Structure 1
Amino acid sequence: MADEVLRVVEDGDRVVATLNRPATRNAIDQELVDRLHDLCDELEGAPRVLVLTGAGGVFASGADIGQLRDRRADDARRGINTHVFDRISRLPLPVIAAVDGYALGGGAELAYAADIRIATTDVRIGNPEPGLGIIAAAGATWRLPRIVGHARAAELLLTGRVLGAEEALAWGIFSSVHPPADLEAAAHAIVDRVVANDPLAIRHTKTALNAPADAHPAIDLALQAELFESPEKQRRMTAFLERRKT
C-alpha cells in the first residue's frame, strides 16, 4: 500500500484516494493516470462519494515534467490528463478535493474537476503552464471560468499567478479552509452530509449542475419528473410530515 502511486481506501459509502509520489511532490505521470482510470472504472460501476487528496502535505505539483517534455503533438491530441480528469468530473456521485500544499498545473486542474474543493491554510494553487511553453489544456480553460468567472480565470491563466489560501477562498476556488491537521475530518464531514441524502437525488443534482446552460430548464424538469415517481421521495416526504406532527 505504501508503495502505490494511488493509495485507495474504501469505507462503505466513500472512497479516499491519495496521490502518493512523494519524490516528485505527487506529480501526475502516466502510471498515476492509469490508476485513476482504474478507480473510475470501479466507481462508475459501484458509485460512492470520492475524496481526492495528496500524501506528504502536497496535493499535486503538476504533470510530471520529465514525461511532459518528451510529449509531442499526437500526445497532446490524446488528452492524457484531460480524459481522466473528465471521467473524474463525471463520476455519478460527488467528488471532493481535499487540497493541502501545492496544487499546480495539472494538480490544479484535477482539483477543478471535483464538485467540492476544500483546502488547508498552506495551499498554493495556480496554473503556471505558459511559463513552460504550454497552456492549461486539461480543463482549466473551461472549468475555472465556471468556478471563479471569466475575468478572474483569465487573470490566473494568463499571468501564471499562484494563489494562497485566503485569496483562493475569496475567489471561490475553495469553499472552506482548514488547518492541515483538520483537513481529513472536514472532508469526511462533507461526505457525511452528502450521504445522508437520497443517492438518486444527489446523482441528478450533479447531472443538472454539470449540464450546459442551454440544457436548462428542460434537464431539471426531466430529472425531477423521475424523482417524483421515486419510492424514496415518497418515503422521505412521508417521514418528514410525520415528524412535523410530533
Structure 2
Amino acid sequence: MYQTLRTELADKIFFIYINRPDKMNALNQQVMAELALAIEEVYSNRNIKSAVITGAGEKAFVAGADISEFLTLSTQQGADLAKKGQVVFKHIEDSPKPIIAAVNGFALGGGCELAMACHFRIAATNARFGQPEVNLGLIPGYGGTQRLTSLIGKGKATELMMTGDMINAEEALAWGLVNYVVAPGELLNKAKEILLKIHTKAPLAIAKVIKCTNAALNKDVDGFELELEEFGACFATKDLEEGAAAFLQKRPARFTGE
C-alpha cells in the first residue's frame, strides 16, 4: 500500500515508520501524501487505539525535507507546499487517538516539525533536534515556528531557529521538547509501555484531553470555555458511568468508548 512508509499494528498500536533510510528518511511530497493516508487510517480504523511515528534505520527519525524538490518552486508554490505540510501535521495534532513520536537519530527541519506535531515525544539517546532552515535561506514552514515556541519558549526557540544549531536528547529533555530519553533499543518499548497504559483509560476522555490541550495553544478558542463544554459532555457517556461504578466497586474499569 505504501511506498515510503512501513506500518504494522500490534496491541492496537499502529506503528508508522518513515521508510527512506537511504535518504535519512527525508520528507518529500510522496512521503507527505502517504503519511496523510496513514493518519486517516488512525482516525478511521476501530482496531487502532493509538499510534507511534518513528524512522526506519538507526541514523534518523527524519533528517529534514527533500531539498531537491525546492529548487524550482515559485513563491506561490513554496507557500502551497508549506500549506500541505501544515494540514497533514495539524491532522496529527488533532487526532482523537494519541500519537507519540519515537525519535531515533536526527529530527531536523521537517522532521523536528513532524515530531512536534505529535502529542508528545520520546527520544533515544542518539536523537538530535534542530530547525536549520536558515542555512538554506528558509524558515520552518510546517508549523515549526509556532510549535517550537509553544514547547520550549520564545527565547530558546528563536535562538535555535536563528542559529540553526542542533540540540541533543538531554538538552531536549531539559528544555521540555521531549518527555523521556531512553536507550535506542528501548525506544519503541517505552512508547508501547505508555500507550498501553493510556489504552486502559476512557477513550472519549482521552480525545477530550487532546482537544482541550490543543485549544490552550489556539488564540481563536477560549480554552476554559471549551473545557467546561467537554467536561459537561463527559456526563452523557457510558464511559463515565462505567468509570464511576468501577471506582466505587474497587475494580478495573472496562471502557467501551461510548
TM-score, normalised on structure 2? 0.90
Shift of 1:242: 1.4
Quick check: 1:175 aligned with 2:179? Answer: yes
| Contact 2:131 2:140 (C-alpha < 8 Å) held by counterparts | yes
Question: What do the CA deviations read for 1:141-160 (whole angstroms, capped 9, x no partner)?
Answer: 11111111111111111111
Shift of 1:43: 2.1
| Contact 2:102 2:187 (C-alpha < 8 Å) held by counterparts | yes
Q: Secondary structure at the match of 1:59?
A: strand
- Report what 1:63 is aligned to: 65
| 77-86 vs 54-63, which moves further | 77-86
Q: Distance in 2 between matches of 1:104 and 1:111?
A: 10
Shift of 1:12: 4.9
Structure 1 regions of 5+ residues with no counterpart?
A: none
Identical counterparts, % of pairs: 35
Quick check: 1:118 aligned with 2:122? Answer: yes
**Counterpart AA for 2:128:** R
| Contact 2:110 2:140 (C-alpha < 8 Å) held by counterparts | yes
Q: Secondary structure at the match of 1:234?
A: helix
Question: What do the CA deviations read for 1:3-37 (whole angstroms, capped 9, x no partner)?
Answer: 83100112352200000101110000111111011
Q: Distance in 1 between matches of 2:67 and 2:55?
A: 18
| Contact 2:116 2:148 (C-alpha < 8 Å) held by counterparts | yes
- Report what 1:144 is aligned to: 148
- Report what 1:109 is aligned to: 113
| 136-145 vs 207-216, which moves further | 207-216
Structure 2 regions of 5+ residues with no counterpart?
A: 252-258
Q: Secondary structure at the match of 1:28?
A: coil
Aligned residues: CA RMSD: 1.6
- Report what 2:254 is aligned to: none
Q: Secondary structure at the match of 2:231?
A: helix
Q: Distance in 2 between matches of 1:43 and 1:124?
A: 27
**Counterpart AA for 2:207:** R
Shift of 1:85: 1.3
Q: Secondary structure at the match of 1:138?
A: coil
Report how many aligned residue pairs link the two structures.
Answer: 243
TM-score, normalised on structure 1? 0.94
